[in-house]
């Protein structure tokens, strides 16, 4: 029996289940949904909806599910539909009928809004650290090559003499602006939607400030309808990832040109290059080329999300299920690119005489 099956007399078609399910990708939200569920259980206990013993049993069960997930021991099925129903099924298997009480006073609408926001904040904090390290790398290179003369270009034509350090500093400024935007994005999403329920709250006397505090949010969201419908923070996140990706694409374009035999300005380390299956003399700047290509995918992810949300009425709509794959993809690829670019630049050899 599905969580929502109350009014239905027959089971849904198997292809409906496949089309409707998000478990194959939103499984990544499991640690964050568990964290939010533990906070919700604590709030239910504070409201005397759960006893201390019940809340302790539920929290231990939830922690065990997260532990099993981290150890790769969780098995899921299309019939689970999404990560929220998976957790409730596993919890009920562990603690019996008490497991169903975890859903008291909440909806999957505010569940997914909270879990996705927790995921985004966590991943963006790590992206922030990576971006800071990348800016530091560019700063070190700008100082290292402070006096090495090169041709500054407009229209890809030699225009004025500059230094290689000045060139590095120009890119550093782009990523500093990205860092500032990322900081503002993190600040604006620091509000907790849990307690909004389906769209208009719940009759249970839940302390949303307590829930927000447990989860590390600055405050609860102000309007429950907006809370379950809001995907602006995902749009902001995708925009920042896209801008970082575009800036990485710009520097990649120059690195690819500089790496060519015509220019011979730079030699990339073998660890950050690939070869040809038929021309063994070649060494290709594939990391830079992939970053240039993946920026197009990030632009597509941002466009997909904005196109999806533009016609959705208040409050929650199933369309919103389509926000996660774009979010996961852009954050993961942006982070991985920065993790690669730092050592790629640090180990690159610049032919300053040329």
E strand or H helix at 126: helix 108-144
pLDDT in tens, 22-80: 999 999 999 999 999 999 999 999 999 999 999 999 999 999 999 999 999 999 999 99
Spatial separation of the C-alpha atoms in residues 19 and 81, rounded to whole Å: 10
Q: Which of 2, 17, 10, 28 lies closest to 332, judged by CA?
A: 28
pLDDT of 306: 98
Burial 215-230 (b: 16+ CB within 10 A, else e): bebeebbeebbebbbb
Question: What is the model's pLDDT at position 227?
Answer: 98
Six-digit token string for 236 = 């902001």
User: Rounded to an integer, what distance in angstroms lies between the CA atom of residue 107 and that of residue 32?
Assistant: 16
What's this model's pTM, rounded to 2 decimal places? Answer: 0.95
DSSP 8-class letter at 315: S
Query: What are the tens digits of pLDDT across the range 222-267?
Result: 999 999 999 999 999 999 999 999 999 999 999 999 999 999 999 9
More confident residue, 143 or 276: 143
Q: What would you report as the CA-atom Rg of the chain, rounded to the nearest whole angstrom?
A: 25
Q: What is the pLDDT of residue 133?
A: 98
Q: Which residues are catalytic?
A: 155, 276
């Amino acid at each position: 029996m599905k969580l929502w099956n109350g009014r239905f007399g027959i089971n849904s078609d198997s292809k409906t289940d496949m089309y409707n399910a998000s478990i194959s990708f939103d499984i990544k939200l499991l640690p964050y949904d568990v964290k939010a569920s533990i906070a919700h259980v604590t709030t239910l206990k504070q409201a005397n909806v759960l006893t201390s013993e019940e809340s302790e049993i539920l929290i231990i069960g939830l922690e065990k599910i997260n532990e099993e997930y981290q150890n790769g021991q969780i098995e899921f099925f299309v019939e689970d539909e999404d990560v929220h129903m998976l957790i409730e099924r596993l919890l009920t298997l562990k603690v019996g009928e008490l497991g169903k009480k975890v859903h008291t006073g909440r909806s999957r609408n505010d569940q997914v809004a909270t879990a996705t926001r927790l995921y985004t904040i966590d991943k963006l904090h790590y992206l922030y650290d990576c971006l800071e390290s990348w800016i530091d790398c560019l700063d070190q290179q700008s100082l290292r090559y402070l006096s090495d003369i090169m041709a500054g270009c407009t229209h890809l034509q030699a225009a004025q003499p500059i230094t290689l350090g000045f060139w590095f500093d120009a890119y550093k400024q782009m990523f500093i602006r990205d860092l500032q935007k990322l900081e503002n994005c993190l600040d604006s999403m620091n509000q907790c939607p849990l307690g909004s329920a389906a769209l208009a709250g719940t009759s249970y006397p839940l302390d949303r400030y307590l829930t927000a505090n447990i989860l590390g949010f600055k405050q609860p969201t102000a309007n429950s309808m907006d809370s379950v419908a809001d995907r602006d923070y995902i749009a902001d996140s995708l925009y920042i990832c896209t801008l970082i990706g575009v800036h990485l694409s710009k520097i990649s374009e120059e690195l690819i040109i500089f790496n060519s035999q015509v220019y011979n300005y730079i030699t990339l380390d073998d660890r950050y290059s690939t070869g040809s299956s038929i021309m063994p003399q070649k060494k290709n700047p594939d990391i830079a080329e992939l970053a240039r290509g993946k920026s197009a995918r990030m632009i597509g992810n941002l466009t997909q999300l904005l196109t999806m949300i533009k016609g959705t009425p208040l409050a929650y709509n199933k369309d919103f299920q389509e926000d996660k794959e774009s979010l996961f993809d852009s954050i993961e690829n942006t982070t991985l690119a920065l993790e690669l670019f730092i050592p790629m630049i640090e180990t690159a050899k610049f032919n300053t005489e040329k």
